Structure 1
């Protein structure tokens, strides 16, 4: 397998880290890196490819890094809303060991923007005085998501949003997806690599997305909006459960095996606390997964109203939702662009509210009621 195969459209970023890993004299090799870029741009993919290059770069090393089993690799990845201070402390402690088989010890933190300031300060101390052969690689959407003192101690590598054609080509090359399906998935995912992969390989995910857009297009009255909010929340829950259920079961089975409990057997009383901790972690991950599912729905709705707006403005641009362009045109004829912009603003407000822990059901309902007022079907007045 080629080291950089999981990336697409990031030649400039690859050149920077590849030069650093190869000790090219023109590269300023540092011991603290920050990889930034929009969701789906491949931040973690670049981080692990960089880690594999630092650790040796051969196929055996790549496989170990992919499995997160390399002895000189430390990883902090969370599906929860926030990274805990204890998790960072454990990783910082592990970073102090000398590498056992490679040139470096590499510590990767995905979603470093999920650290509170107190937690960030624990990491800061490790970045200020890292062991000579330890390399830190952080990932975050932007530099602004980290505290200034950490930003001043890392070298940043910025990723761009890949083109739809580049993402489609990756799906065809890496996953063997049919070219037409790959192109459609990449366009609907708006170049988000992970979501494009899911849409291209999961028929249920495609169906849930189609139902999301159909639900929004069917809103004409306040009562429709209330019903639609409940429908969208159920779709988000189904999407989140599809992602987490199988993984939760595998984790539980693995934990039981490691504790010596046979499948279907009773967990001894002295081991129940460990299983309870696992279940608590899974519940926290489910909360994050639901939030992510709702946000995916809101992003899909933004793409719908973006297409409607472009039709209203007469802009000749490739629609995201080309497969329902006739429905888009029908919706565009029902209101002016200022009303569509107001709807898009309402969606943006809902995203901020949910991110600030407002109950998703309330945020969705308020958003869709607002959308009703701005994009409702015109009906003749009764005489």
Structure 2
């Protein structure tokens, strides 16, 4: 067993990373280490396992045995406690230049255990233009034994100067059979449920696991897939849009409420709230007010991102639904992600033309673009549901 065993359907990427991990060990021992470099860019479609691959590679280069999977180094990386690994997860809509400069300073430190200092930057494409330029400088002039592992959906999501200085590892969408096998063998999911979840998730491993293990996730999927049939009039379209947006808002509130409260409490304590002594309380008034405002802004940005991600997941569910409709209309011999809704798919396929279906898919993709451009979610989703309207 190695740290790469959990990468589902990524044989080619695993081979590249395994060779590079061996080369990293050669560098530590004073050798040339051909195949190892200081900057990597992990790309691939949602659910392909970009972050998981980067984390496995971090474990492999920090492990004396190139990722054995059972030593203390590997274990510490996998649970996120290794002192020489820093994981960056942008929680808001973007990652600022201030945050990037602070990260670069931390990355400049020498490894505490003598091998490598690894920075794993998830969603690196969320870095602002100024932040990306600051990051470029750090990658162009890396500190000795510092390795940058950047993750983004596609190489073109990063500025070309960063992309050109990174070795790109492209992950692929795992086949349904591989995802189902993983769910059944590693998560003890019954085979029939594993097949359903793998098929519905279309190779998105974490989505498949959620569908297989969480009844609430399956219920939300059913609610989304019920939308196309329900859009028979303008009123129904407005109601469906309100429900989609409200559900996303509730998910964001649920995901952030406890975290926000804990962060705010800790910050207030840091600035002396509740302590005795005039000096401490005065510190809250002077320095704490600005810090609290900054924290509130970050929390709002995080909530907005979660809301957008939730809405986007629902929109992608609809895209896949209409893709299945299109496949039935053309008689394509492909796996239907929503085979459990074959009756509804068949009804819509018979009652509309392929041109109608393509128009509806375009409407969903336009809604995604509008949300990404900060259009009011209610307005963007209403426009979409009106375009999806049966007979519209």
Q: 1:319 to 1:144 in 2, by over 3 A?
A: same
> Are residues 1:32 and 2:52 paired?
no
> Are residues 1:283 and 2:319 paired?
no
Contact 2:272 2:283 (C-alpha < 8 Å) held by counterparts: no
Contact 1:10 1:162 (C-alpha < 8 Å) held by counterparts: yes
Q: Render the CA deviation track for 1:260-317: whole Å, top value 9, x for unaligned.
A: 999xxxx967456556654443322111000000100100001111111122222232
Report the CA distance between 1:31 and its aligned residue. Answer: 0.7
Q: 1:269 to 1:12 in 2, by over 3 A?
A: farther
In the alignment, the residues of structure 2 paired with residue 68 and residue 254 of structure 1 have an alpha-carbon distance, to the nearest angstrom, of 22
> Are residues 1:41 and 2:48 paired?
yes
Which residue among 197, 215, 236 is the counterpart of 2:209? 197
Contact 2:96 2:130 (C-alpha < 8 Å) held by counterparts: no
Q: Which residue of 1 aligns with 2:352?
A: 335
Q: Which residue of 2 aligns with 1:116?
A: 128
Q: 1:200 to 1:245 in 2, by over 3 A?
A: farther
Q: 1:249 to 1:165 in 2, by over 3 A?
A: farther
Q: Where does the alignment leave 5 or more consecutive residues of structure 2 unmatched?
A: 27-31, 275-279
Q: 1:256 to 1:71 in 2, by over 3 A?
A: farther
Q: 1:176 to 1:270 in 2, by over 3 A?
A: farther
Report the CA distance between 1:354 and its aligned residue. Answer: 0.6
> Are residues 1:376 and 2:388 paired?
no
Contact 1:219 1:376 (C-alpha < 8 Å) held by counterparts: no
Extract structure 1 runs of 4+ deviating beyond 3 A: 24-27, 238-262, 267-280
Contact 1:55 1:102 (C-alpha < 8 Å) held by counterparts: no
Q: Render the CA deviation track for 1:94-136: whole Å, top value 9, x for unaligned.
A: 1211111141111111111111221111111111111221111
Within 5 A, what are the aligned runs for 1:262-341? 270=283, 273=289, 277-341=294-358
Q: What is the number of equivalent residue pairs in this alignment? A: 371
Q: 1:28 to 1:326 in 2, by over 3 A?
A: same
Report the CA distance between 1:327 and its aligned residue. Answer: 1.5
- TM-score, scaled to structure 1: 0.89
Q: Which residue of 2 aligns with 1:65?
A: 77
Q: Which residue of 1 aligns with 2:364?
A: 347
Q: Which residue of 1 aligns with 2:57?
A: 50
Comparing 51-60 with 211-220, which one deviates more in the overlay? 51-60
Comparing 61-70 with 44-53, which one deviates more in the overlay? 61-70
Q: Which residue of 2 aligns with 1:77?
A: 89
Structure 2 SS opposite 1:22: helix
> Are residues 1:211 and 2:218 paired?
no
Contact 1:205 1:239 (C-alpha < 8 Å) held by counterparts: no
Structure 2 SS opposite 1:332: helix
Q: Render the CA deviation track for 1:52-101: whole Å, top value 9, x for unaligned.
A: 11111453222322332211112221121101111111111112111111
Structure 1 SS opposite 2:226: helix
- TM-score, scaled to structure 2: 0.87
In the alignment, the residues of structure 2 paired with residue 282 and residue 176 of structure 1 have an alpha-carbon distance, to the nearest angstrom, of 36
In the alignment, the residues of structure 2 paired with residue 333 and residue 258 of structure 1 have an alpha-carbon distance, to the nearest angstrom, of 64
Report the CA distance between 1:244 and its aligned residue. Answer: 3.7
Q: Where does the alignment leave 5 or more consecutive residues of structure 1 unmatched?
A: 378-383
> Are residues 1:3 and 2:3 paired?
yes
Q: Which residue of 2 aligns with 1:127?
A: 139
> Are residues 1:362 and 2:374 paired?
no
In the alignment, the residues of structure 2 paired with residue 179 and residue 242 of structure 1 have an alpha-carbon distance, to the nearest angstrom, of 31
In the alignment, the residues of structure 2 paired with residue 11 and residue 147 of structure 1 have an alpha-carbon distance, to the nearest angstrom, of 28
Query: What's the RMSD between the two structures over aligned residues?
Result: 2.5
